[in-house]
A and B are shown apart, each in its own frame.
Chain A
Amino acid sequence: MYFIPVLPLSRRWRGRWHRVSLLLASFLLLVCQPIHAHGYIVRSIPEDRAVLERSPVRVQYWFSEDLEPEFSSITVRDQAGNVVATGGVSLDELSLMEARLPTNLPEGAYINELRVAFASDGHVIVESRVFFVGEAVGGVAGLAASDQAVALEVIWRAVVLASLTLLLGVFALYNLVLLPAWGSDTFAAGHLPPRVMNRLNWIVIAALITAFGGNLLALLQQTMVFFGADAGRVLSEGLWQVVRIGTRFGDTWNIRMLLLALVAALHGASLYLRQNQPETVRAFWAANAWVMALCVGTLSVASHAAGSLLMPWVAVLSDWLHVLAVGFWTGGVAALALVLPVALRPYSGETRRLALVAALNRFSLIAAAGVGVVVATGIYSASNWVQSPDDLGTTYGGALAVKLLLVGLLLVVGALHFAALRPKWYARVSSVMERIGGFVPSLRIEALLVLGVLGAAALLSATPVPKPDFESPPAPSATQTAGDYTVATTITPGGTGVNTYDTVVLRDGEPVDGLPVHLRMANPERDLRGDWHVAENIEDGVYVASGTEIDRTGRWLTLIDVGEGEATQRFVFEWEITAEAAVIETRAPTWFNLLALLGMIAAIGYALSPLGRRFYRMLDLSPVSVTVAVGALLVTVVVVVVGIAAAENVAQQYELTVNPPPQIVNEVPPDQESLERGERLLEAECAGWGSGTDWDELIRRLPRLRDEELYAYTQAGWRTLSPCSDALSASERWDVVNFVRAQEAR
């Protein structure tokens, strides 16, 4: 391990600091790891093992991220195994999977088989959920998604991660360590001896071949999982092309392959031109370091960090920085282990030590920064995903333990090397080093441990984490009977945001199709109403509509008109919409999240401090320049803060102007009885209402009028419409208002 600098004695204090950092890093690595989790269900209707009084209209499952519609499906079976419904991903919402059910399912158990393909990383899980109609049935249970990793996926992830890490590490090592430490103008092509350049070239070529092979294996395995097919069928029928072109996994796969092809082309150019234009070799190696930094970013784009409920952009950036730091650190260690034996071959004794220390002095600074970033980003990722200490007792926890064990061994070997390089400590570890066989064999052991750690990381990333429990109330549902009809309606999920309004209309217990059914949402406390929806009649008496009217919690009404004209029957359902009912789309940061974020920023600051110092030295720090710069910064901050505050204030004022809170609230639900009372009262107590030009004008204006205005008109009159009788009580006036409102054209 070389992230502890080999320091001069005069910097002993810095040596102590780095040793403390090593201990701290070791500890933190033991308690946190970055996680590439599978997605999971954040809301389900009905809940697993829910016992329902009557048959639901549909089953719906919301996931923490988008799904691949072509490869995701839901099958609902009864307890005899017969398929009663099938469904898939909602066209309007890619994180929602749903299936519509036949009405009046007989009492019994129903099993929802979910086959879910997550878009970001292509992971496919199969699980089943159960619900009961009537009473719970014993012996029927759902099947949880497997928490085991797929072996072939672990293999390709290990191969891809190791090869990309090694490529990034070798390019970074050349530019930041080997060239400054050992570079010489004597060697025109790459400024390093030919034997070293040859070894570096072979490392790059081998890693590139491995990376291409790993990516091809990834596409093969992903296609096998998506289609449930074996490798022969995937290849013979060209199914891999479907995945490559038609999925998000394929998109990121294409970009990664393109970047690898660019790296291969640039490296090929460096090999081709090394004789005739040797000065270009260094340039190609410098360029490839940037391309590889971008290439490892494709892993983060395709990770679950992108589907994080907590600040996804920060999660993606954290993941990318983590992989970059791993590349600089472990990729650098591996590359160094492969290069050192060749580079140091001509030397022995003190000369060999000086050559080695020259490289390690450079590398230790970079690796120390890398370890800091790895730890800080790991903590942030852990704070993002780990929800409970119990998670460590799962299969995922086991995979984590394997990785931690290997990381621990890696640190031990690194500590041995550190001691062996220090003359005053060598005596203490000499017997161990001699038993290993010397410095070069122990370097190989360390490189193998690096590979082991990367393999364990691949196992972790392929192992689903235990999903957090989301407790949500059931979707609001109610049934009413009036006139000839029995109407049952359900709002799913029943929180703020997009909701589906399912209505079942029965007459004499039988579903009725072909009726005009209109539906409207209203919020009396704000005197607001949505537009009328024409509910679409699917079949079996089911009428569906959807809308986004519910934009905040509180009391809401659903007005449903069944039938047309005189035969219209009004139903009113009252709901209390709670915040818990909304589908979870984002998560507010906790204090631990924010502290972890601060730690990440500090680690990045430490890693970039050499660049910062260089930039600082370039600055003009004359009093005039500093005053102008600070003044400009302050003015900018003030302008931005004032601008944000002003914009928020304007938005609030606009909302209050457009939708001021009513002075009086209509507390009378506009149900059938209220409408009938209102009609009678209007005829008897409100002279001039019900006909005439001004009445027609009033009805025409209804979409723009609030209930409180209509209430005021019943008191004071409007144009030629006289005030209603003073004898009317408040609730009777609201009956009149409700009747007038019911005349509004749909």
Chain B
Amino acid sequence: MFPTILAHGALGAFDEIIFLGVGVVFLVMMGISWLRSRNMKPEFDDPGIPAKVTTTEQQPDRFKLE
């Protein structure tokens, strides 16, 4: 049996698998996020894309910083 590193919860050695599983999921999400952002088309100055938060002119949710 492999040595226990992180496992000390209710599931015993299965803790290890779950902890590692969570780690793998996050690292995979990191990779996906990197690829997605890397391949994203320019979007910020496209007037065709609506703002995600509805606002008024007094309370805008977009401001093009110079």
Q: Which residues of A contact B (CB under 8 A)?
A: 6-10, 65-66, 119-120, 179-186, 191-193, 196, 248, 251-252, 255, 279-280, 282-291, 293-294, 297, 301, 306-307, 311-313, 316, 343, 346, 354-355, 357-359, 361-362, 365, 586
The 8 closest A-B pairs by CB, nearest first: A358-B63, A283-B37, A290-B30, A283-B38, A312-B9, A185-B42, A182-B65, A183-B44
In the bound complex, do residue B62 and residue A306 qualify as a contact, i.e. CB atoms below 8 Å apart?
no
Chain A: minimal CB distance from B29 (Å): 5
Once the chains are docked, how many angstroms separate the CA of A183 from the CA of B41?
A: 13
In the bound complex, do residue B52 and residue A180 qualify as a contact, i.e. CB atoms below 8 Å apart?
yes
Interface centre among B10, B35, B64 (most CB of A within 10 A): B10
In the bound complex, do residue B26 and residue A251 qualify as a contact, i.e. CB atoms below 8 Å apart?
no
In the bound complex, do residue A311 and residue B27 qualify as a contact, i.e. CB atoms below 8 Å apart?
no
Chain B: minimal CB distance from A15 (Å): 11
In the bound complex, do residue A362 and residue B53 qualify as a contact, i.e. CB atoms below 8 Å apart?
yes
Chain A: minimal CB distance from B28 (Å): 9
In the bound complex, do residue A297 and residue B22 qualify as a contact, i.e. CB atoms below 8 Å apart?
yes
In the bound complex, do residue A181 and residue B62 qualify as a contact, i.e. CB atoms below 8 Å apart?
yes
Could you say which residues of chain A place their CB within 8 Å of the CB of B31?
Answer: 287
Q: Is B6 an interface residue (CB 8 A)?
A: yes
Once the chains are docked, how many angstroms separate the CA of A65 from the CA of B7?
A: 12
Chain B: minimal CB distance from A36 (Å): 15
Interface string of B1-42 (1 = CB under 8 A from A): 000011011110000001100110011011101111110101
Q: Which of B39-66 contact A (CB under 8 A)?
A: 40, 42-46, 52-53, 55-56, 58-66
Once the chains are docked, how many angstroms separate the CA of A649 from the CA of B35?
A: 50
Could you say which residues of chain A place their CB within 8 Å of the CB of B64?
Answer: 182, 184
If over half of A's interface residues share one DSSP class (helix, strand or loop), that class is named, otherwise mixed; here it is helix
Query: What total count of A-B pairs have CB within 8 Å?
Result: 121
In the bound complex, do residue A313 and residue B9 qualify as a contact, i.e. CB atoms below 8 Å apart?
yes
Q: Please, which residue of chain A has its CB at the minimum distance from the CB of B33?
A: A286
In the bound complex, do residue B59 and residue A185 qualify as a contact, i.e. CB atoms below 8 Å apart?
no
In the bound complex, do residue A185 and residue B63 qualify as a contact, i.e. CB atoms below 8 Å apart?
no
In the bound complex, do residue A343 and residue B65 qualify as a contact, i.e. CB atoms below 8 Å apart?
yes
Could you say which residues of chain A place their CB within 8 Å of the CB of B59?
Answer: 6-8, 357, 361
Q: Please, which residue of chain A has its CB at the minimum distance from the CB of B53?
A: A361
Once the chains are docked, how many angstroms separate the CA of A605 from the CA of B11?
A: 26
In the bound complex, do residue B56 and residue A8 qualify as a contact, i.e. CB atoms below 8 Å apart?
yes
In the bound complex, do residue A196 and residue B52 qualify as a contact, i.e. CB atoms below 8 Å apart?
no
Residue of A185, A255, A297, A301 touching B45 (CB-CB under 8 A): A185
Q: Which residues of B contact A (CB under 8 A)?
A: 5-6, 8-11, 18-19, 22-23, 26-27, 29-31, 33-38, 40, 42-46, 52-53, 55-56, 58-66
Q: Please, which residue of chain B has its CB at the minimum distance from the CB of A180?
A: B52
Once the chains are docked, how many angstroms separate the CA of A284 from the CA of B33?
A: 9
Could you say which residues of chain B place their CB within 8 Å of the CB of A311?
Answer: 10
Using A287-B31, A290-B27 as known contacts, list a sample of 10 further A-B pairs with CB atoms less than 8 Å apart, ordered by residue number in A: A8-B59, A181-B61, A185-B45, A287-B34, A290-B33, A291-B26, A301-B6, A306-B8, A362-B53, A586-B10
Chain B: minimal CB distance from A398 (Å): 30
Residue of B26, B44, B55 touching A290 (CB-CB under 8 A): B26
Could you say which residues of chain B place their CB within 8 Å of the CB of A286?
Answer: 33-34, 36-37
Once the chains are docked, how many angstroms separate the CA of A196 from the CA of B64?
A: 13
In the bound complex, do residue B23 and residue A289 qualify as a contact, i.e. CB atoms below 8 Å apart?
no
Given contacts A8-B55, A365-B53, is CB(A287)–CB(B63) below 8 Å? no
Once the chains are docked, how many angstroms separate the CA of A119 from the CA of B38?
A: 42
Once the chains are docked, how many angstroms separate the CA of A354 from the CA of B40?
A: 27
Could you say which residues of chain B place their CB within 8 Å of the CB of A193?
Answer: 65-66
If over half of B's interface residues share one DSSP class (helix, strand or loop), that class is named, otherwise mixed; here it is loop
Chain A: minimal CB distance from B38 (Å): 4
In the bound complex, do residue B22 and residue A182 qualify as a contact, i.e. CB atoms below 8 Å apart?
no
Could you say which residues of chain A place their CB within 8 Å of the CB of B35?
Answer: 283
Chain B: minimal CB distance from A576 (Å): 30
Chain A: minimal CB distance from B55 (Å): 6
In the bound complex, do residue A120 and residue B8 qualify as a contact, i.e. CB atoms below 8 Å apart?
yes
Residue of A191, A289, A361 touching B44 (CB-CB under 8 A): A191
Q: List 16 A-B contacts (CB under 8 A).
A: A10-B56, A66-B8, A180-B52, A184-B44, A185-B43, A186-B45, A283-B37, A285-B37, A290-B27, A291-B26, A294-B26, A357-B59, A358-B60, A361-B55, A361-B60, A362-B61
Once the chains are docked, how many angstroms separate the CA of A185 from the CA of B66?
A: 11
Interface centre among B23, B33, B45 (most CB of A within 10 A): B33
Interface centre among B34, B35, B56 (most CB of A within 10 A): B34
Could you say which residues of chain B place their CB within 8 Å of the CB of A287?
Answer: 30-31, 33-34, 37
Chain A: minimal CB distance from B4 (Å): 8
Could you say which residues of chain A place their CB within 8 Å of the CB of B53?
Answer: 361-362, 365
Q: Please, which residue of chain B has its CB at the minimum distance from the CB of A343?
A: B65
Q: Please, which residue of chain A has its CB at the minimum distance from the CB of B56?
A: A8
In the bound complex, do residue A119 and residue B26 qualify as a contact, i.e. CB atoms below 8 Å apart?
no
Once the chains are docked, how many angstroms separate the CA of A179 from the CA of B34?
A: 15
Interface centre among B6, B22, B36, B59 (most CB of A within 10 A): B59
Once the chains are docked, how many angstroms separate the CA of A255 from the CA of B10?
A: 21
Given contacts A294-B23, A301-B6, A307-B8, is CB(A182)–CB(B34) below 8 Å? no
Once the chains are docked, how many angstroms separate the CA of A8 from the CA of B8?
A: 50
In the bound complex, do residue A306 and residue B33 qualify as a contact, i.e. CB atoms below 8 Å apart?
no
Chain A: minimal CB distance from B35 (Å): 7
Could you say which residues of chain A place their CB within 8 Å of the CB of B63?
Answer: 181-182, 354-355, 357-359
Once the chains are docked, how many angstroms separate the CA of A294 from the CA of B45?
A: 33
Once the chains are docked, how many angstroms separate the CA of A314 from the CA of B26?
A: 19
Chain B: minimal CB distance from A187 (Å): 9
Could you say which residues of chain A place their CB within 8 Å of the CB of B26?
Answer: 290-291, 293-294
Could you say which residues of chain B place their CB within 8 Å of the CB of A284?
Answer: 34
In the bound complex, do residue A185 and residue B65 qualify as a contact, i.e. CB atoms below 8 Å apart?
no
Interface centre among A7, A66, A183, A346 (most CB of B within 10 A): A183
Q: Please, which residue of chain B has its CB at the minimum distance from the CB of A311?
A: B10
Q: Please, which residue of chain B has its CB at the minimum distance from the CB of A305?
A: B9
Once the chains are docked, how many angstroms separate the CA of A441 from the CA of B37?
A: 35
Once the chains are docked, how many angstroms separate the CA of A65 from the CA of B38?
A: 45
Q: Please, which residue of chain B has its CB at the minimum distance from the CB of A351?
A: B63
In the bound complex, do residue A294 and residue B27 qualify as a contact, i.e. CB atoms below 8 Å apart?
yes
Chain B: minimal CB distance from A551 (Å): 19
In the bound complex, do residue B62 and residue A358 qualify as a contact, i.e. CB atoms below 8 Å apart?
yes
Could you say which residues of chain A place their CB within 8 Å of the CB of B52?
Answer: 180
In the bound complex, do residue A279 and residue B38 qualify as a contact, i.e. CB atoms below 8 Å apart?
yes
Q: Please, which residue of chain B has its CB at the minimum distance from the CB of A310?
A: B10
Residue of A7, A65, A184 touching B65 (CB-CB under 8 A): A184
Chain B: minimal CB distance from A536 (Å): 26
Once the chains are docked, how many angstroms separate the CA of A450 from the CA of B18?
A: 33
Could you say which residues of chain B place their CB within 8 Å of the CB of A316?
Answer: 9
Q: Please, which residue of chain A has its CB at the minimum distance from the CB of B63?
A: A358
Residue of A279, A312, A358 touching B10 (CB-CB under 8 A): A312
Could you say which residues of chain B place their CB within 8 Å of the CB of A119?
Answer: 8
Could you say which residues of chain A place their CB within 8 Å of the CB of B43?
Answer: 183, 185
In the bound complex, do residue A289 and residue B22 qualify as a contact, i.e. CB atoms below 8 Å apart?
no
Q: Please, which residue of chain B has its CB at the minimum distance from the CB of A65?
A: B8
Q: Please, which residue of chain B has its CB at the minimum distance from the CB of A251?
A: B5
Chain B: minimal CB distance from A686 (Å): 51
Chain A: minimal CB distance from B19 (Å): 7
Could you say which residues of chain B place their CB within 8 Å of the CB of A290?
Answer: 26-27, 29-30, 33
Chain B: minimal CB distance from A301 (Å): 6
Given contacts A8-B59, A280-B38, is CB(A355)–CB(B27) below 8 Å? no
Could you say which residues of chain A place their CB within 8 Å of the CB of B65?
Answer: 182, 184, 192-193, 196, 343, 355
